[in-house]
Structure 1
Amino acid sequence: MLLTKSLKKRLSRKEAEELQQKHNSFLMFQNILKWVDVFVYPFLVLFLPHTAQSQTSDFDAIYKTTLDLDFKKSSSLLKQFPEVEIPFGHLYIANLNDVLELIFSENEDRYNQLKQNEDTRLDLISDSEDDSPYKDFVKGEIKLQWAFVKLKFGHTLSGVWSLRNAYKTVQDNIEKNPDFKLHYKTMGLLQVIFGAVPDNQQWILNVLGLEGDVQNGLAHLKSLSKESTPFSVEARLISSMIESYLLEEHDRALEGLNSNTSNHISMAEVYITSLILMKSHNAQAASQMLKEAIERPEPSPLLFEYLLAEALFQGGNYNEAKTHYLVYINRFEGRNQLKDSRMKVAMCEYFLGKNISFKNYWEEAKQTKGATSEADKNADAILEAKSFPNFRLLQIRYAIDGGYYKLASRTINKIDTGKLKFDEVHELTYRKARLSHLTNSYDQALMLYNEVISNTEALSDSYFAPNSYLQMGYIKMEENDNEQAKIYFNKVLEFRKHPYKNSLDSKAKIALAAIDALND
């Protein structure tokens, strides 16, 4: 977009240049936006102040209700106690309250009501005569939080610009206050996000003046998590998410979550822990935690219903899973996961032998407009295929994802391989490889992964071959054969196109960087 002459006349030169720069940034960032949106989603609720050292009883009360996602009560307490001892802490919590409400509700009307609060709070901070390092720290956090919210609601241009502004604000604060440690929480997360962007898209970040490094970002967060600051637990939670979602180090991630000695686990901690448990193939533990949270007297986010349904579905508890999917479908005001939920309800009916209702729900799922979540995109690919999928293979896939390995093994044994199509034979081999890998049968896993990659040309439209290389690399790292691991990780990067290219390329890139760091 080139600015028109009439528009230029209405704008100052500085305003016109900034608008043009925003648009150019938007065009360049579109190439990586899809990846960024998928990656940051689990991190959206991690901006949680934690009183490792209690500030005031007022702050503690507001903090507790915010952490329990009780937005109305938290807002009420903020009106009663508008000041807390942390500089600009009241604005931070007020902003956090808005952001968490919007992330969990996805309510467009509520977004339109609350979005002006960002500029209002930033103006209040800018107008303050307080010159403490907290000034730019809180400004950077507010910009970062709203960047994620804007991206989630589809406001791409303003979201990208807020992300860039957050980075620049924190960067300036580091230069002015190098001994102030809290800014490494914001910068640490930004470094991880930008550092995980695939190499062929890093030039876009360079044009925008953004830099990333996963290992440095994680090191900053881990260092901060050991400090006695109000944000140490938050840094530890973010570190755990990075270890699980990017580094595939699930055990280490869960270790970082076991430091809460309180009898009360907040709703936010339930959310984060359940995500990591499910990512680490332990849906059974996640389902127990989510059930207990939903049964509490205080309200829980509707997203918990969806996550619980997912955990139950993976374990073959189809009647119970269907109940929770339907609660989510009937009450959720946003768009994400609705297509996937309706498809999973249809699959529950299929596995329960209810053919008529299966077909009705399947058609309803097809008619549901998909959203930006990875679950909806995956559901869309399954629903738009020319024929029904092989539901037994899907059952194996979901059982393995949830850590229900006995269910997966039993289902594998029931399959008549003579009736499988060509591509289904290779998918079954891939699923067997994943099952062997996750049950620590590494030799068997390597043999099966090799069988998958020997048919790479026949699997050109799937992620089975590149992910097989990735998993073989992880096995070799586990066996301390880093040279062979590097060969496998580099093979991942050679694939030009597949459904999870950005995600798998990022993981391979991070693993290669970790190996290089060991050799330095």
Structure 2
Amino acid sequence: MLAELLRNLRGLSQIPVRRVQAALGVVGWALVSGFIAPPQATTPATASTSLPAPAAVQLSPNSRRAYAEVLKLRLSPARELLRLELASTPTAPAPLLVANCADFVELVVSQDAGRYEALEQAQEARLAALDKAPASAMRDYARAEITLHLGLSQLLFRHLVMGGFHLRSGYHQMQDVVRHYPAFAPARKTLGVCEFAVGSLPEGYHWLLRLLGLTANVDTGLKNLALAAAQPSDFQTESQIYQSLIRESYYKKPEECLRLTERLRTQQPDNLLFAYLAMSVNKRQHDGEAALAAYRARPTAPGYLPVPYLHHMAADLLLYKGEYAASERENLAFLRDHKGRHYRKDAAFKLYLAAWLDGQPAAAVARYREQINRPGPTDVEEDNYAQHYYHEAQALNPVLTRARLQSDGGYNQQALGTLRSFHVTPTTLWRDRIEEPYRRARAFQGLGRLDSAWFYFERTQTVAGHRAPYYFAPQAALQQGYMAKNAGKNVQARFYFEKALHYPWHEYKNSTDAKANLALRELK
């Protein structure tokens, strides 16, 4: 398979290397974000959720305790629990899998290049140990899962050929596990997440999927995930998290996810991952106060894996509230502690906003702005947006910027109050003329005043026309599609989802197109 992949890569000589890197990054991030983030096409699949037979025993009691520690992001206690079990049974699938989960979580969360080589070698050693274990559902599942972890780790650190090879191999191995052990729920969990991630990639990346030999159907992925979420197993909670995150993020059905994350956080207040999930979901749902409450209540005792990204999220939430000095402190802490390359441009952009809106001296504002342009990847959309802002070199409008931040945090009445001071003049930029009605629309939408929101979403598209290289008009069309769909107006919803797809490049085109395509599939 490696030789085949290399031949295919050589055949792409007419395609810029940067495009291959970016596309592999999309595949990797789609799956990686599902593990930590971690995130149905016929109303999210809940029907027919029984497996052929009761699931087999999965984790040993000791491995189960260690896995619970991994989910809490307490990796040192988890590794200590596994140490004796692995010493006495070095080819046992359960402790090998949980040990690999701990390493994979460390790599994804820390993005520490200094730890990559050792953890990659440990993953390969576990695969070699599993080759000596007797065949079983757990053995085959652990091997497929670890292969996927290895591939995603390699993609994260831009070892593209080997990462693509292991991603492809693990995906096909997981398909084989489901075929041979249809009652084994954990395999359906992982396969379902993979199928959804692969099947929901934008059309522009289908050439890469063909290159890797990956095919997937979103509906099949959601069905497999629903089966795993409904079946009692050691991985049921993880399956339920994935399912609810997909419904919340891609199908605008947040209620289940909000209930689940709050229940998990209440049941396990010492679980840092569950605190992160509650913070993340409430942030996406524009409930800044709830997200900040989850951040402040997170466990902080020794023994937890450091998660610098939490500081970056908190910086956003404080920026929304207008607490600029506190936001600046949180982002500086993130940049100090974060060992990875992603979200650095976004952090610099947010530091620039905080300093600018706080009225800091021009030299401090300019210093943060220049940090945006430091070398670094733009794989994630937030970094891409920050870099695009830097290169566009157009001054932001302070009124619209404040209103945007307030609305992002759920402070919609304040946003409407801020927008009252916006006035169009002959020198007003075209971008600002488009953004102003969009900001009003989002604030009215957050307040549940949908007639007013619809009016301003429509005005956004009228002002933008069909060629504006900004995300306001396509996002307005996407939101109108959701509004029409929720009102049962499917023909109208289809019109607006298709309209969102037809806009040219903008900063969030990948995610906007993915959501519009999934919504269109659901309408079918």
8 Å Cα contact 2:193/2:225 also seen in 1:
yes
- How big is the shift at 1:456? 3.8
8 Å Cα contact 2:433/2:463 also seen in 1:
no
Q: Distance in 1 between matches of 2:286 and 2:301?
A: 25
Structural mapping, 1:394-473, within 5 Å? 394-418=401-425, 420-457=428-465, 459-473=467-481
Residue of structure 1 in register with 2:49 after alignment? none
Residue of structure 1 in register with 2:178 after alignment? 174
Moved more, 92-101 or 72-81: 72-81
- How big is the shift at 1:246? 1.6
Tell me whether 1:192 sits opposite 2:183 in the alignment: no
CA gap of 1:120–1:289, structure 2 versus 1, over 3 A, is same
- The count of corresponding residues between Structure 1 and Structure 2 is 497
Tell me whether 1:377 sits opposite 2:384 in the alignment: yes
Q: Distance in 1 between matches of 2:391 and 2:132?
A: 53
Tell me whether 1:505 sits opposite 2:513 in the alignment: yes
Q: State the one-letter code of the partner of 2:101.
A: L
Q: State the one-letter code of the partner of 2:294.
A: M
Residue of structure 1 in register with 2:118 after alignment? 113
Structure 1, residues 203-238: CA drift from partner, whole Å, max 9, x if none? 543454322222332232122112110000000111
Residue of structure 2 in register with 1:141 after alignment? 145
CA gap of 1:437–1:37, structure 2 versus 1, over 3 A, is farther
CA gap of 1:291–1:435, structure 2 versus 1, over 3 A, is same
8 Å Cα contact 1:150/1:159 also seen in 2:
yes
5+ long unaligned stretches in structure 2: 39-56
Structural mapping, 1:222-241, within 5 Å? 222-241=226-245
Residue of structure 2 in register with 1:154 after alignment? 158
CA gap of 1:144–1:78, structure 2 versus 1, over 3 A, is same
Structural mapping, 1:263-274, within 5 Å? 263-274=268-279
Moved more, 229-238 or 401-410: 401-410
SS of the aligned residue for 1:375 comes to helix
- How big is the shift at 1:186? 1.2
8 Å Cα contact 2:5/2:161 also seen in 1:
no
Q: Distance in 2 between matches of 1:369 and 1:290?
A: 30
- How big is the shift at 1:37? 4.5
Q: State the one-letter code of the partner of 1:511.
A: A
8 Å Cα contact 2:228/2:236 also seen in 1:
yes
Moved more, 165-174 or 142-151: 142-151
Residue of structure 1 in register with 2:213 after alignment? 209
Q: State the one-letter code of the partner of 2:290.
A: A
Residue of structure 2 in register with 1:10 after alignment? none
Q: Distance in 2 between matches of 1:501 and 1:295?
A: 37
- The equivalent position to 2:484 in structure 1, one of 476, 479, 484, is 476
> Which TM-score applies when normalising by structure 2?
0.87
8 Å Cα contact 2:457/2:476 also seen in 1:
yes
8 Å Cα contact 2:58/2:233 also seen in 1:
no
Residue of structure 1 in register with 2:7 after alignment? 20
CA gap of 1:55–1:110, structure 2 versus 1, over 3 A, is closer
- How big is the shift at 1:86? 12
Q: Distance in 2 between matches of 1:369 and 1:22?
A: 26
Q: Distance in 1 between matches of 2:280 and 2:430?
A: 34
SS of the aligned residue for 2:474 comes to helix
Q: State the one-letter code of the partner of 2:34.
A: F
- How big is the shift at 1:428? 0.7
Tell me whether 1:39 sits opposite 2:30 in the alignment: yes
- How big is the shift at 1:251? 2.2
8 Å Cα contact 1:343/1:361 also seen in 2:
no
Q: State the one-letter code of the partner of 2:224.
A: H
Q: Distance in 1 between matches of 2:373 and 2:221?
A: 42
5+ long unaligned stretches in structure 1: 1-13, 48-52
SS of the aligned residue for 1:127 comes to coil
Structural mapping, 1:230-309, within 5 Å? 230-260=234-264, 262-293=267-298, 295-299=300-304, 300-309=306-315
CA gap of 1:456–1:354, structure 2 versus 1, over 3 A, is closer
Structural mapping, 1:293-332, within 5 Å? 293=298, 295-299=300-304, 300-332=306-338
8 Å Cα contact 2:320/2:406 also seen in 1:
yes
- The equivalent position to 1:218 in structure 2, one of 199, 203, 222, is 222
Q: State the one-letter code of the partner of 1:310.
A: D
Q: State the one-letter code of the partner of 2:414.
A: L
CA gap of 1:296–1:410, structure 2 versus 1, over 3 A, is farther
Structure 1, residues 395-419: CA drift from partner, whole Å, max 9, x if none? 2222222222133222212323336
- How big is the shift at 1:154? 2.0
